[in-house]
């Protein structure tokens, strides 16, 4: 293994000596470092280098002392040269600037040596003195990180994000994600995994810890606002395929689009959703970016071009070297405003979400409703660390809004500040009142139908469009399932016993009233076409 490490390092240094200083490409391409690994594999194949042990006349697993000494000297030189290369890449490209001297003093000379483990620790230590969004990803964490970005994994289906020193739930991979079905909510703070305190661990590390074999279980502890005690959920892991875009047609010819994250593939999902809107002639879009903590900037830029007329400025990427600054414009085919858009944001909307929000707001293509965004206006590149099969995230640019605003640490302000509120269901104005005046059947219409649709939705029964006043098939199915779960005769009609059971089930529940959604919906309804 050591011989292979040495040969790989020497080969890397040969390649790097002829390469450009930027050894990585944004969001995961490896650049010259990965190219070196590929070249090594090719050279091994051409030379007949085999990994299986070969028979020899005098097998001797231990090198001679002089040979070992020479090897150690070569390894030390190669490691230190590779370390210097990593430092040079960081110094040249880190957006906020850092010198070799600052890295040296922070990392300490003792960490740089001939031992492979110590070299990895030295590289990892560099990233502890950079901004909070630059980080080192060891081999096991790297794999989990890439799985999350590419949406192929197994686990409990929650999206977690480091925010202000806490691990916050900022979304779910799909509507049927195990965590969502069990009752975990956006904004819950993760405090334990299988009884182990998670203080000090990153979201990426915890995401890896929560994965496992399909069918296995994990117990998660959460702190929830307004709850004095920790809430524990024992969840069964499942195969996870992310559904990036949740869409729904609302009354008033409005399409609701919730984008959970900017993972690979979300652009295609968003494109298909808007094609459906175009087929129906729908020109009003309620775009929900709340709890979307970011992802691939490239996906956000492509999505912006679905909404902004051709040549509209989306953002400016601001690098350490101003000569590299790049103005990104919409590549849309249309030249005039295509949609009326209301954008919902909150304090968990970050990074690529802020890029898209700023683009829509500054181009007056979207009316932004909610609270201040998180304030992460930076983009990271992925640096492949080949000898250790690891990776690092390095902040290389800042996003500027079309008006030239640097996204501040306290986030972007919406056009209209609207806060949600918590209320007991029996006290809130959000729900239609329960009257018990009539028995309701499939095909009936009215506010009393809507009252039960709202409450069954709150109880996690799928009821379709929560603004629909018709007793349709989706509500019939939800009522039938509620009756079966409650020990009532399951026949789909809302009789007095069923109505009372639903009312009692939700009467003492405290819920978040989505005033932001209501305001976005009313804003779009008021636009006359």
What's the start-to-end Cα distance of the chain, in Å?
69
Q: What is the largest CA-CA distance in the chain?
A: 96
Q: How far apart are CA 60 and CA 500, in angstroms?
A: 83
Top CATH class of 155-241 equals: mainly beta
pTM over 0.75: no
Two structure tokens written together for 82: 């590779």
Two structure tokens written together for 90: 């960081």
Architecture category of domain 421-513 in CATH: Orthogonal Bundle (1.10)
3-class DSSP assignment, residue 168 = strand
Percent of residues, the chain, with pLDDT higher than 90: 43
What is the Cα gyration radius of the chain? 28
Pairing of strands 152-155, 135-137: unpaired
Residues of the chain with pLDDT under 50: 1, 4, 6, 8-64
Pairing of strands 421-424, 510-513: antiparallel
The pLDDT, as a whole number, for residue 62 is 42
Two structure tokens written together for 277: 């809107």
Q: In the chain, where are the structural domains located?
A: 2-39+69-93+97-130, 155-241, 245-380+396-417, 421-513
The pLDDT, as a whole number, for residue 188 is 92
Contact 79, 116 (CB under 8 A): yes
What number does CATH give the domain 245-380+396-417? 3.90.226.10
The pLDDT, as a whole number, for residue 175 is 75
Contact 210, 193 (CB under 8 A): yes
* 290 backbone dihedrals φ, ψ, rounded to 5°: -70, 140
Q: How far apart are CA 315 and CA 330, in angstroms?
A: 10
Q: How far apart are CA 350 and CA 257, in angstroms?
A: 17
The pLDDT, as a whole number, for residue 251 is 86
- What is the DSSP annotation of 454-498? HHHHHTT---S-TT--B--HHHHHHHHHHHHHTTS--SS-B-HHH
Q: How far apart are CA 222 and CA 192, in angstroms?
A: 7
Instruction: Give the pLDDT confidence of 419-437 residue by residue, as tens digits.
Output: 998 877 766 666 888 888 8
Residue with tokens 């240094």: 13
Where residue 171 falls (left for φ over 0; alpha for ψ -120 to 50; beta otherwise) is: left
Element (H, E) at 288: strand 284-288
The pLDDT, as a whole number, for residue 81 is 78
Two structure tokens written together for 18: 């002829």
The pLDDT, as a whole number, for residue 42 is 35
Residue 403's contacts (CB-CB under 8 Å, 6 or more residues apart) are 362
């Amino acid at each position: 293994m050591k011989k292979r490490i040495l040969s790989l390092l020497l080969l890397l240094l040969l390649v790097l000596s002829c390469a450009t200083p930027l050894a990585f490409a944004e969001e995961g391409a490896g650049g010259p470092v990965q190219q070196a690994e590929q070249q090594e594999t090719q050279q091994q194949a051409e030379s007949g280098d085999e990994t299986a042990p070969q028979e020899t006349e005098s097998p001797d697993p231990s090198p001679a002392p002089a040979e070992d000494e020479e090897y150690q000297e070569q390894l030390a030189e190669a490691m230190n040269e590779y370390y210097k290369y990593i430092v040079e890449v960081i110094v040249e490209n880190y957006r906020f600037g850092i010198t070799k001297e600052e890295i040296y003093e922070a990392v300490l000379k003792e960490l740089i040596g001939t031992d492979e483990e110590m070299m990895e620790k030295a590289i990892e230590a560099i990233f502890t003195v950079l901004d909070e969004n630059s980080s080192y990803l060891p081999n096991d964490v790297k794999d989990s990180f890439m799985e999350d970005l590419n949406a192929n994994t197994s686990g409990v289906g929650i999206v977690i994000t480091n925010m202000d020193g806490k691990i916050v739930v900022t979304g779910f991979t799909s509507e049927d994600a195990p965590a969502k079905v069990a009752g975990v909510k956006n904004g819950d703070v993760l405090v334990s995994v299988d009884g182990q305190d998670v203080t000090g661990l990153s979201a990426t590390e915890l995401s890896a810890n929560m994965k496992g074999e399909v069918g296995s279980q994990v117990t998660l502890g959460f702190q929830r606002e307004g709850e004095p005690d920790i809430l524990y959920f024992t969840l069964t892991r499942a195969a996870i395929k992310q559904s990036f875009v949740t869409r729904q047609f609302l009354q008033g010819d409005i399409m609701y689009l919730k984008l959970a994250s900017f993972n690979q593939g979300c652009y295609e999902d968003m494109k298909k959703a808007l094609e459906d809107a175009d087929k129906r002639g729908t020109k009003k879009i309620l775009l929900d970016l709340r709890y979307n903590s970011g992802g691939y900037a490239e996906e956000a830029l492509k999505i912006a071009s679905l909404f902004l007329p051709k040549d509209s400025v989306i953002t400016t990427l601001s690098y350490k070297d101003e000569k590299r600054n790049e103005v990104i414009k919409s590549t849309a085919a249309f030249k005039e405003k295509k949609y009326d858009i209301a954008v919902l944001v909150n304090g968990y909307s970050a990074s690529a979400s802020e890029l898209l929000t700023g683009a829509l707001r500054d181009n007056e293509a979207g009316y932004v409703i909610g609270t201040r965004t998180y304030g992460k206006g930076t983009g990271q590149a992925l640096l492949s660390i080949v000898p250790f099969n690891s990776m690092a995230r390095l902040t290389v640019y800042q996003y500027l809004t079309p008006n030239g605003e640097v996204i501040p640490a306290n986030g972007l302000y919406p056009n209209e500040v609207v806060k949600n509120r918590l209320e007991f269901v029996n006290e809130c104005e959000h729900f239609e009142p329960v009257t018990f005046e009539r028995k309701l059947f499939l095909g009936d219409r009215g506010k009393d139908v809507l009252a039960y649709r709202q409450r069954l939705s709150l109880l996690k029964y799928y009821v379709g469009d929560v603004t629909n006043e018709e007793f349709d098939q989706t509500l019939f199915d939800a009522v039938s399932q509620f009756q079966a779960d409650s020990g009532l005769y399951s026949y789909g009609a809302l009789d007095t016993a069923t109505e009372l059971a639903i009312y009692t089930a939700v009467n003492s529940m405290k819920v978040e009233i989505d005033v932001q959604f209501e305001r976005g919906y009313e804003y779009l309804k008021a636009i006359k076409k």
